[in-house]
Amino acid sequence: MKVLVLGGDGFCGWPASLHLSARGDDVVIVDNFSRRRIDEELGVQSLTPIRSMVERRAAWREISGRDVRVVELDIAQDYPGLLQLITDERPDAIVHYAEQRAAPYSMKSGKHKRYTIDNNVNATHNVLCAIVESGRDVHLVHLGTMGVYGYGTAGMSIPEGYLNIQVPTPEAVVETEILYPSNPGSIYHMTKVLDQTMFAYYAKNDELRITDLHQGIIWGTNTEQTKLDERLVNRFDYDGDYGTVLNRFLMQAAVGYPLTVHGTGGQTRAFIHIQDMVRCIALALDNPPSRGDRVKIFNQMTETHRVRDLAAIVSRLTGARIETVPDPRKEALENELIVHNDKFLALGLHPITLDEGLLREINETAAKYADRADLTHIPATSLWTREQQAGIPASV
Ligand code: USQ
């Protein structure tokens, strides 16, 4: 099928583009290269030496014999350009990664909050509006987040998007289904909540076919395709804004930096390996909803772990020291998290587990590129509240 990958230069978009290209899809990457500009703004680089898109594309052509076309376009700003692209390319599907994805970056300042809202909300709405205006029946697959649910569920297992509820009325108890109530923990996560409402509206009003993937935290760096050649290597973020928790711990262990556990480390989160992420995208593309269906929602995660348990596992494997640091975020310091993920398992996903992949991840990436690390960028400096900025810990 022909697929536009919006945000195809990013951490998830690049390996997904190659995975789809490798299985025979005709892939067009659409990107404004904002993630590379943010690296410059923050003064930090990916731990892995990622290549320019020109070099990436040439390497992929050389290695695979397949071409991935690239269009430079800001889909949040250039609506006519996006509409023209969809009209000209006539894609079967669009995979939408083109959003600012870091919670700490979204909380840095008023400027960053407003950028994240403007960029993410406009990007998503422009895609939806352009699909309708193009008149084409395009399946939209969006990378959402587990963070739309919030993380405290009072022992209940989080369903895949929709919750059955019973509402007492004077006549009877009425059973109905609602979108699981949202409870975002950052401006970034809030944009994905707003996305959900736009999806529900466009699925209802215009009968767009939409799949929303509520993804957990990715760990790992490379996939079968990005491992094929050094020039295809995926990015690895370790800094306090873009680095995610497990990859940060792997990198910290490799450079001899104490593992930075926020608060008690009692936060439980959902995880998925990057290889499984690209498989899930392909499974979602192959199993679209029908016209007129509600938004199809998958929980795209394979394991849950407490942050302090992850630190303990990494410490056991590497001998790294664990250090608890004040939590820069406003979040529950302890939470349970139980999540349904039956849909992808039923479609044949066989998840990579931490047990089998962690050591390989340390050796193949974190340790291999450790000398490229700038340790001054490890501390997380974005604080969630004005009280924290004044030195008072946040209470939740
Ligand atoms: N944490 C630490 N130490 C660190 C970094 C993080 O204890 O050095 C803690 C945080 O306080 C938080 C948890 O680890 O409780 C997860 O933080 P994270 O930065 O790994 O993940 P998060 O900010 O939630 O965002 C990441 C991705 C985002 C994606 C989300 C999925 O950046 O794009 O949507 O994971 S989820 O977390 O399931 O909502």
* The predicted structure's pLDDT at residue 151: 83
How close is the Cα of 266 to the center of ligand 1, in Å?
13
* Cα–Cα distance for residue pair 232/63, rounded to 1 Å: 10
What pLDDT shows up at residue 155? Answer: 79
CATH (domain of 94): 3.40.50.720
- Which one of the listed residues 108, 192, 296, 343 is annotated catalytic? 192
- How far is the centre of ligand 1, averaged over its atoms, from the C-alpha of 236 (Å)? 15
Q: CB of 148 closer than 6 A to ligand 1? A: no
CA quadruple 10, 11, 17, 18: dihedral positive or negative?
positive
Q: What is the pLDDT of residue 372?
A: 97
Contacts of range 340-347, beta carbons closer than 8 Å, 24 or more positions apart = 340/157, 340/158, 340/159, 340/160, 340/299, 341/160, 341/298, 341/299, 341/300, 341/301, 341/302, 342/160, 343/160, 343/298, 343/299, 344/280, 344/283, 344/298, 344/299, 344/300, 347/283, 347/287
pLDDT tens-digit series, residues 307-345: 999 999 999 999 999 999 999 999 999 999 999 999 999
Cβ of residue 130 lying under 6 Å from some atom of ligand 1 = no
- The residue-averaged pLDDT of 268-273 equals 96
Does some domain include residue 396? no
User: By mean pLDDT, which of 140-149, 202-211, 355-364 is the weakest?
Assistant: 355-364
Q: How far apart are CA 392 and CA 381, in angstroms?
A: 14
Whether residue 228 is contained in a domain is answered as yes
The pLDDT, as a whole number, for residue 381 is 96
Band of pLDDT at residue 156, cut at 50, 70 and 90: confident
What is the pLDDT, as a whole number, of residue 270? 96
- Interface ipTM: 0.99
| Whether pLDDT at 199 is above 90 | yes
Q: What is the mean pLDDT of residues 57-76?
A: 98
Residue 58 lies in a domain: yes
Average pLDDT, the chain: 96
Say if residue 355's pLDDT is above 90: no
Q: How many domains does the chain have?
A: 1
pLDDT tens, position by position, 231-250: 999 999 999 999 999 999 99
Judge whether 187 and 241 are in contact, CB under 8 Å. Answer: no
Spacing, Cα 244 to ligand 1 middle (Å) = 5
Would the pLDDT of 133 be above 80? yes
CA 6 vs CA 185, 229, 346: distances in Å: 25, 23, 27
The whole-number pLDDT of residue 360 equals: 85
- Alpha carbon of 66 to ligand 1 centroid (Å): 35
* Cβ of 262 less than 6 Å from ligand 1: yes
d(CA 286, CA 327): 41
Read off the pLDDT band of 393 (50, 70, 90). Answer: confident
Q: Is 145 among the catalytic positions?
A: yes
Banded model confidence at residue 359, pLDDT cuts 50, 70, 90: confident
Q: 394 in a domain, yes or no? A: no
Collapsing DSSP to helix, strand or coil, 248 comes out as helix
The stretch 265-281 carries a mean pLDDT of 97
Name the catalytic one among 97, 149, 188, 257.
188
> Residue 248 belongs to what domain range?
2-389
Contact 95, 6 (CB under 8 A): yes
Identify the active-site residue in 116, 124, 145, 260.
145
**Ligand 1 binding pocket includes 394 (Cβ within 6 Å):** no
Tell me if 217 CB under 6 Å of ligand 1.
yes
Ligand 1 contact via 267 beta carbon (within 6 Å): yes
Q: Is residue 250 part of a domain?
A: yes
Q: Is 349 contained in some domain? A: yes
Ligand 1 neighbourhood includes 35 CB (under 6 angstroms):
no
Question: Is 192 known to be catalytic?
Answer: yes
Write down the pLDDT at residue 363: 84
Could you give the CA distance from residue 213 to residue 347 in angstroms, rounded to a whole number?
14
Give the pLDDT score at 128: 99
- Active-site residue, 188 included: yes
Q: What pLDDT is attached to residue 362? A: 86
pLDDT at 154: 74
pLDDT exceeds 80 at position 153: no
Answer whether 339 contacts ligand 1 (Cβ < 6 A): no
Q: Is residue 386 over pLDDT 80?
A: yes
H or E, element range at 57: helix 53-64
Pocket test for ligand 1, best of 269, 300, 335 (most atoms within 8 A of CB): 269
Is 17 contained in some domain? yes
Domain membership flag for residue 45: yes
Q: Whose CA is nearest to atom 34 of ligand 1?
A: 145
Contact 300, 215 (CB under 8 A): yes
CA distance 44 to 38: 9
Q: How confident is the model at residue 68 (pLDDT cuts 50, 70, 90)?
A: very high
CA distance 303 to 85: 38
